[in-house]
Structure 1
Amino acid sequence: MTTHRRTGQAGRIIAAVADVMAFILVLWILMYLLDANRGNALVQFVQDSAHWLAGWSHDLFTFDQDWARVVAGYGLAAVVYLLVGHTVANRVRR
């Protein structure tokens, strides 16, 4: 396998991981806004995963409405993961 092919695969893997992380965060935002049943195992898993992924940003903003804090905090984390993940993936591919 050539070095170019390996770096291309590594870049795709990094981008895919960033996409999955952002997807989990956006999924939690949607579940929160749609008032998903927090007693459901899937909802709990997504909430726990999103809370762990956005631990650094989920209480960063102090809006009066809870929904605005969730959207801003978890949304910021999703955008950061996408930007950083895809930037690193593009650098690796070069």
Structure 2
Amino acid sequence: MSPRTRHTRGSVETAKIIVIVADVMAFILGLWILMYLLDANRANDFVQFVHDAARWLAGWSHDLFTFDDAWARVVAGYGLAAVVYLLVGHAVAGRLRRY
């Protein structure tokens, strides 16, 4: 087995992990948006966990937009974070797969 083949396999496996992490992060953010829009019970432990995780993941984009409606701020702020994580994660993984 050539060194190039071993490096490629490692890169492909690393790319898969990056894609999975990016997808999970985007899923958590999307799940919080859905829970918010459906007015999920915030006293529920699972809802609180998802909210806390989403708040941490979208810390950089939380309240980035100043729409008058709270639902629009949640969708824009958390949605932007989800899209960025998907785009960056999949772009990095694609780049790794090429090598």
TM-score tier, shorter chain, comes to: over 0.9
Whole-angstrom CA distance in 1 between matches of 2:7 and 2:67: 48
- CA RMSD of superposed structures (Å): 0.9
TM-score where L is the length of structure 2? 0.93
Unaligned runs of 5+ in 1: none
Whole-angstrom CA distance in 2 between matches of 1:67 and 1:58: 12
Give CA deviations for 1:55-84 in whole Å, capped at 9, x if unaligned.
010100000000000000000000000000
Indicate whether 1:4 and 2:8 are aligned.
yes
Indicate whether 1:64 and 2:68 are aligned.
yes
Matches within 5 A, 1:1-94: 2-94=6-98
Structure 1 counterpart of 2:41, one-letter code: N
Give CA deviations for 1:1-60 in whole Å, capped at 9, x if unaligned.
811111100000001100000000000000000000000000000000000000010100
Q: Name the % identity.
A: 73
Higher Rg: 2
The number of residues matched between the two structures is: 94
Whole-angstrom CA distance in 1 between matches of 2:33 and 2:88: 20
